[in-house]
Chains A and B, each alone.
Chain A
Amino acid sequence: MAAVQETIDQVRQIDVDQYKYGFETIIEVDKAPKGLSEDIIRFISAKKQEPEWMLEWRLDAYQRWLTMEEPTWARVDYPKIDFNELYYYAAPKNMTGPSSLEEVDPELLRVYEKLGIPLQEQEMLAGVQKPRVAVDAVFDSVSVVTTFKKELQKAGVIFMSISEAIREHPELIKQYLGSVVPTTDNYYATLNAAVFTDGSFVFVPKGVRCPMELSTYFRINEKNTGQFERTLIIAEEGAYVSYLEGCTAPQRDENQLHAAVVELVALDDAEIKYSTVQNWYPGDAQGKGGIYNFVTKRGDCRGHRSKISWTQVETGSAITWKYPSCILRGDDSRGEFYSIAVSNGYQQIDSGTKMIHLGKNTSSRIISKGISAGRSNNTYRGQVSIHRRAENARNFTNCDSLLIGDKCGAHTVPYIEVKNASAQVEHEATTSKISDDQKFYVMQRGIPEEEAIALIVNGFVKDVIQELPMEFAVEAQKLIGISLEGSVG
């Protein structure tokens, strides 16, 4: 209720071209020279003080990448990226890794404050009512700080930047890194393996329920700098963790590249809930600028009765290419995908999921809500594949698209592949427009046009909003309202 109200207020405050998070921070940076080469990879690895094996891993991936072609099957259209025109490493000066809060440049802390991301543990503790969230803040290529580390340690949970984990927990990294998304997986994932700069690492040991929400906040600040983060989350037997990811970038005329890899591993009876509110800069009303978001996210339900759930709210980026997926390997494991993808202006979204059923009695559920406005294009691309041995597998898919105006497009591309006769696969898809009847009815009660649309859209996405952690649900509703503004008329 309040959220709708806030959406309304927010929409009032900002107009079409004012992306709220579009400010740039002037901070002294340490940058690698432009371009991509073995030397650059050595540079990144050295900056991170990585062990030799990690460097080898990166160089292997790089060699592989050189032989690969950029994929073209997605319904997105953009000029060819010149990978040698990008910077692959940028860090605030004198920062090579996460430090304690006291050591962080106050200017940086102010950035996160402005973004509404709490990094001061005391402040967070002071708000007794508020649920506490531990944050890993990544600024361009490095993790700036990770909060609540000590308290998490007490519970046995490891939450730190991946760079740190490579130094401090090499055994876990060697065992799990690339075990879900191999370095050879796809063009962007392979590139990421070669040049990833930072990201989060989470390890929840056997039987532990992580005592608070974990969250990473990504911020691209430097011009022409690619952000290649790498996140790895492991939940051992019976463990539970809920993880949130948020992101923003300044407004720029040029397009910026973001190519992340996220790997999740759930062992027997473990559960991982991964939520994203993606709000990278979408470009201006004419379609200039914006982030290219090419992301590989995959969860491996490796253990029996394990569960992985992806929830995403995609409102930003000029181009989104993203398919958070689940490999349902363990018997009785379950994968879920809940998605809201909002496109406006000239945004292009090609997103969906893959549910790969390998184990017996595996089940998956896909709920996708696409909203297209302006001149945008919004494609749901999903694959459900039931393998030969996946006895009694079940899938339910529901894809709804909502169109606002008549210059946008919505597309649904489901692939279903069933190799076991006991499978039950259900697919529902609808495409609708906000009807004039609905708009008139809502406005007749005194609700102005933009608020009326925000209200109807928030109703449309409610099933997915409910899956988000409370604090994120409010944020997400606001974002949806903001990203649709200027969509009427």
Chain B
Amino acid sequence: MLEIKNLHARIAEDGTEIIRGLNLTVKAGEVAAIMGPNGSGKSTLSYILSGREDYEVTEGDILYNGESILDLDPAERASKGIFLAFQYPVEIPGVATMQFLKVAMNEQRKARGEEELTTPDFIRRVKEAAAELKIDPAMLRRPLNVGFSGGEKKRAEILQMALLEPKLCILDETDSGLDIDALKIVADGVNALKSPDRAVIVITHYQRLLEYIVPDTVHVLYKGQVIRSGDKDLALELEANGYADIIGKAA
């Protein structure tokens, strides 16, 4: 489903290279975890996958279902099924969460040539998904992410993911800022989305989330490269020993 080949990317503004020859393959149905020290390029990778303009790909390619997506803008990639749950969700003042959800859902439907949702159908879907994630309906009337607590923001990201039904879900530190109960709820939400035609990339620092969302593969990112890949045991190893060993070996 996703094939990243020898990817090099830099910050458009000053030319600093962040991703330096990264290779990664994620198959449909797979849950891939990406770990790595602070500043190794995990969030940058997620931005580049979703088409953020601030980064420039200088070499290599990103194939999604066999096709390069480098020329697509973020909205086009989203309507093809790429979803990013942000590490730091952005506030959109004055735009009610409900309203935002409706516009987003209908835009994606439009891009795929589907009918717009009727209002009752839309409301039913939102209510159901919100209930699953234990989101207070009153929150949906508030402007998106404005004044939401850290945990509420993360839940709102998963709500959007559940409603948009993407094919490639990228979760960037969705576990940070969540209390123990919320972590469980969010993990259940993600697990409910798992399906043979859907892939999930989980970026995290902690083994705890991976106990709930069990990864098929684990990749360690360091200085813009995948320096080690393995199965779920790799995450346990990291938890026990930290990155020093792996980084030392790779160097």
Which residues of A come within 8 Å of B, CB atoms?
1, 4-5, 8, 435-438, 440-449, 451-452, 455-456, 458-463
- Chain A residue at smallest Cβ distance from B86: A441
Give Cα A441 to B145, complex, Å. 11
User: How far does the Cβ of B105 sit from chain A's closest Cβ, in whole Å?
Assistant: 8
B164 touches A4 (CB 8 A): no
Known: A436-B53, A458-B95. A4 touches B90 (CB 8 A): no
Of the residues B94, B111, B143, contact of A446 by C-beta under 8 Å: B111
Task: Report if B84 contacts A (CB, 8 A).
Answer: yes
Give 5 A-B contacts (CB < 8 Å), ordered by A residue.
A435-B90, A441-B89, A441-B90, A445-B78, A446-B111
Of the residues A5, A443, A463, contact of B74 by C-beta under 8 Å: A443
Of the residues A4, A8, A438, A448, contact of B92 by C-beta under 8 Å: A438
**Interface stretch (choices B20-28, B96-104, B183-191):** B96-104
Residues of B within 8 Å of A455, CB to CB, are 92, 95, 100, 103
B90 touches A443 (CB 8 A): no
Task: Report if B52 contacts A (CB, 8 A).
Answer: yes
Residues of B within 8 Å of A463, CB to CB, are 94
Residues of A within 8 Å of B225, CB to CB, are none
Give Cα A438 to B100, complex, Å. 13
A446 touches B107 (CB 8 A): yes
Residues of A within 8 Å of B74, CB to CB, are 440, 443-444
B107 touches A448 (CB 8 A): yes
Overall SS of chain A's interface: helix
Residues of B within 8 Å of A8, CB to CB, are 103, 107
B99 touches A443 (CB 8 A): no
Of the residues A1, A445, A456, contact of B160 by C-beta under 8 Å: A445
Give Cα A5 to B54, complex, Å. 28
Of the residues B54, B100, B102, B107, contact of A436 by C-beta under 8 Å: B54
A440 touches B52 (CB 8 A): yes
Known: A436-B53, A441-B89. A446 touches B95 (CB 8 A): no
Give Cα A443 to B84, complex, Å. 11
A446 touches B90 (CB 8 A): no
B94 touches A460 (CB 8 A): yes
Task: Report if B40 contacts A (CB, 8 A).
Answer: no
Task: Report if B1 contacts A (CB, 8 A).
Answer: no
A447 touches B75 (CB 8 A): yes
Known: A445-B104, A446-B104, A447-B103. A458 touches B73 (CB 8 A): no
A5 touches B94 (CB 8 A): no
Give Cα A478 to B78, complex, Å. 25
A446 touches B102 (CB 8 A): no
- Chain A residue at smallest Cβ distance from B81: A446
Task: Report if B177 contacts A (CB, 8 A).
Answer: no
B79 touches A446 (CB 8 A): yes
A444 touches B84 (CB 8 A): yes
Give Cα A138 to B15, complex, Å. 59
- Chain A residue at smallest Cβ distance from B116: A5
User: How far does the Cβ of A89 sit from chain B's closest Cβ, in whole Å?
Assistant: 45
Known: A444-B84, A459-B92, A459-B143. A4 touches B75 (CB 8 A): no
